[in-house]
Amino acid sequence: MAIPYALAMENLLIRDFGPGDSAAFRQLNEAWIRHYFVLEPKDEATLGDPSGAILEKGGQILLAETAGEVVACCALQFMAVGEFEVAKMAVTEAAQGKRIGRRLLEAVIQRAEQMGAHRLYLETNRVLEPAVRLYESLGFVHLPPERVPSSPYARANVFMEKVLR
């Protein structure tokens, strides 16, 4: 399924992950993780087999393309019936500041709603301030410490959720 968006001077296509997309998914995520942090075991497992780690477990991966190039990605990882984690969201440096991340996250939220989700959860880091602001602007709220689950990521220090209809 593809969701076309027209941006100011370029076309944006948001589409499902498909055959041949594993390398782009890995490259997009490795770039931001290595820039700010280090790859952790959970990253290696997910990026090494996105189909097995995400899709085959009931999740989804959406990609954003401009001019035939994948410039962003975001996953919905199944947590429990009606609950998904928004994970592995990445936008190339060249595509940042063009609202592509916002459009992609809006599409991910819409997809979660279509899948019957009632809650989205995410983990991030406060150093990724633009991402935190984006999540807040789309209705994600910070979890109080007593509601924060154990995380497989040492870098995670911001925990948020969005309750859906």
The pLDDT assigned to 10 comes to 59
The pLDDT assigned to 144 comes to 96
Query: Any idea what DSSP says for residue 9?
Result: S
Pairing of strands 83-91, 141-142: unpaired
Give me the domains of the chain, ranges plus CATH numbers. 2-120 (3.40.630.30)
Alpha carbon distances (Å) from 84 to 30, 77, 78, 114: 22, 5, 5, 12
DSSP H or E run through 100: helix 100-114
Model confidence over 103-143: pLDDT tens digits?
999 999 999 999 999 999 999 999 999 999 999 999 999 99
Tokens 């999740």, residue? 59
The pLDDT assigned to 165 comes to 79
Q: In what order do the strands lie in the sheet with 119-124?
A: 2-6, 11-16, 60-66, 69-80, 83-91, 119-124, 158-163, 141-142
Integer Rg of the chain from CA = 15
Model confidence over 14-57: pLDDT tens digits?
999 999 999 999 999 999 999 999 999 999 999 999 999 999 99
